[in-house]
Structure 1
Amino acid sequence: MAKRQRRTAYLFLSPAIVYFGLFFFWPIVEEFRLSFTRGFRKLRPVGVQNYVDILHDPAVRHSFLITLVYAAVVLLLSTIVGLLLALILNQNFRGRTVARTMILTPYMTSIAIVGLMWRNILDPTTGVLNTVLTGLGLPGQHWLTTAPLATLIGITVWQEAGYIMLLFLAGLQGLDQQVYEAARIDGASVWRRFWTITLPLLAPTTLFVVLVGMIGTLQQFGLPYLVTGGGPGDATSLYVYQVYRETFSSGELGYASAMSFCFLVVILALSLLQIRAGKKKEAL
């Protein structure tokens, strides 16, 4: 009976196993193999030279550093904004369902639509935003050239805050209200209850938000591709966009594969560090 149950379980699991094997594990293995080659169509083996070149490539260092800055700022701002929105929309008031839907809409919208929409809005000559500023008697701004990375960060926070709000909202609704009632009886203020009850109890949700948000922002490609094109210069050439340029502009598939595999290792290391730090905090 036990063997039959195991066979049945593996039978139902087999589609998922085949899917992950073909579209997740096999591409990683193939990428690792390609990382020891150079070229695009005619690949030639170069050993570990790609990895050595990555360490000395200023373009790779630049894209990696601005990606870390972008991810850190986006994660911080979107977490703060999402938590504030969740705290507000967790209250009982008329129209909160409509408000939740409106705030979540940018996240549910296709990245292609978001990117093209903001590119048109921020256009220095025909953009809606500069038209409004001009109508108010204010000078128009070159949003995509004077502060492109800050603009990209703002768009990302606008899109991601709704999803983070939803996660925190789920965490808030799962908290025991009797703890808050006891704190109110003891005379604890709203600020005191937030710092001593809400934030500690939301630690698992916060860890999940930070982990998922970090992985997502580090892999951002759509917005720099659609909104800024990696420019001006290389100001918004995030790491994944730089991999894309190495593959399709420079024609260096092997070099791009080595960059991708290095980035995979970095993301895994950061994820493990965050999980370990989260477990230590929960133990305390």
Structure 2
Amino acid sequence: MTGGLQRRYARTALLFITPALVFFALFFYLPIGNVLATSTMTGVRADQFVGLGNFSRALADPTVRHSFLVTVGFTLGVTVGAVVLGLALALLLNQNLRGRVLFRALLLVPHLTSVVVVGLMWRNILNPNFGILNRLLGSLGLPAQNWLTESPLLTLIGVQLWSQTGYVMVIFLAGLQGIPQMFHEAALIDGAGAWRRFRHVTLPLLAPTTVFVSIMAVIGGLQMFGLPYLITEGGPAGATNLSILHVYRAAFDERNFGYASAMSFLLLLVIVAVTVVQLRAGKKKEVTL
């Protein structure tokens, strides 16, 4: 290929990727730069320069540490639960069962529902006074539960799993159907039972899918805002005060946009670091295979 032809191909490629570059510059890199600039300011109008003061304050703030620990607990619960339940449902609905297409569609509906609808619906379902869940327990002779005060974080994890597991199931289904059948047939010829085939064939070949699902679940958990805001409002006593909800309150209740921006940027660094670790761990797993 001549140099002139190479330059022509390069210009053509640049022409096609320019819209994507402009999009990322306007709606990704520019907002991040704006948040970083705002994080060095304080005051209601964010017009007083304080350098790294907001970052120092956030790192020393026990409320920030508490909200981050709550977020980590929520994220771990959602990630592990989504992977386990999603894979189990995918394995079940990958079988030749009657109505499996209908069940797949029904399980995906919660993920397609707006988070506002999900939050308000579950807030009413879990209401200790007139919620349908306590009425169902009463009809079975079981005592009513105060879901939003006795175990609020577990309740929030359960709602998120209800909403997310269908999507995870679809991703795992795609991964399962992408595994060549000859690997299972070879293992079957070697005398491997169902558990050994699952452990030594299915799970290793699903490693890239598992890494992707885990990364998406972790990012979603660390960025969760809608459900705690709508269902528990961060309570009781900060038990569900996730990081993004804390950032929201610092920005719009306390009118401290600089401090909120600093906390947002720190959370961004955590998300990037965790994602890099997960990608490297997944890559090592693939190399081992």
| TM-score normalised per structure 2 | 0.95
Among 38, 45, 48, which residue is 1:34 paired with? Answer: 38
Match of 1:52 in 2: 56
Match of 1:216 in 2: 220
Is 2:232 the counterpart of 1:228?
Answer: yes
Match of 2:255 in 1: 251
Deviation at 1:135, TM superposition (A): 2.2
Deviation at 1:35, TM superposition (A): 0.6
Match of 1:23 in 2: 27
In 2, Cα distance between equivalents of 1:113 and 1:42: 34
Deviation at 1:276, TM superposition (A): 1.1
SS in structure 1 at match of 2:44: coil
Match of 1:82 in 2: 86
8 Å Cα contact 2:46-2:257 kept in structure 1: no
Match of 1:134 in 2: 138
In 1, Cα distance between equivalents of 2:284 and 2:46: 49
Deviation at 1:42, TM superposition (A): 4.8
5+ long unaligned stretches in structure 2 = none
Deviations 1:146-196 (A, max 9, x none): 110010000111111111111110000011111111211222110111111
Match of 1:93 in 2: 97
8 Å Cα contact 2:40-2:49 kept in structure 1: yes
Is 2:263 the counterpart of 1:263?
Answer: no
Match of 1:71 in 2: 75
Deviation at 1:232, TM superposition (A): 1.1
Is 2:184 the counterpart of 1:180?
Answer: yes
Among 131, 149, 153, which residue is 2:157 paired with? Answer: 153
In 2, Cα distance between equivalents of 1:46 and 1:213: 35
5+ long unaligned stretches in structure 1 = none
Is 2:246 the counterpart of 1:242?
Answer: yes
Deviation at 1:92, TM superposition (A): 1.0
Aligned residue identity for 2:84: I
In 2, Cα distance between equivalents of 1:225 and 1:171: 34
In 2, Cα distance between equivalents of 1:42 and 1:270: 30
Is 2:170 the counterpart of 1:166?
Answer: yes
In 1, Cα distance between equivalents of 2:120 and 2:271: 28
Match of 1:13 in 2: 17
Deviations 1:178-227 (A, max 9, x none): 11112112221101111111101111111111111111111111100111
CA distance 1:42–1:82, shift in 2 (3 Å): closer
| TM-score normalised per structure 1 | 0.97
In 1, Cα distance between equivalents of 2:80 and 2:251: 31
Is 2:277 the counterpart of 1:273?
Answer: yes
In 2, Cα distance between equivalents of 1:31 and 1:239: 16
Deviation at 1:258, TM superposition (A): 0.4
Deviation at 1:131, TM superposition (A): 1.4
Q: How many residues end up aligned between the 2 structures?
A: 284
In 2, Cα distance between equivalents of 1:257 and 1:146: 32
Deviation at 1:109, TM superposition (A): 0.8
CA RMSD in angstroms, aligned pairs only: 1.2
Identical-pair percentage: 54
In 1, Cα distance between equivalents of 2:173 and 2:161: 17
In 2, Cα distance between equivalents of 1:168 and 1:253: 40
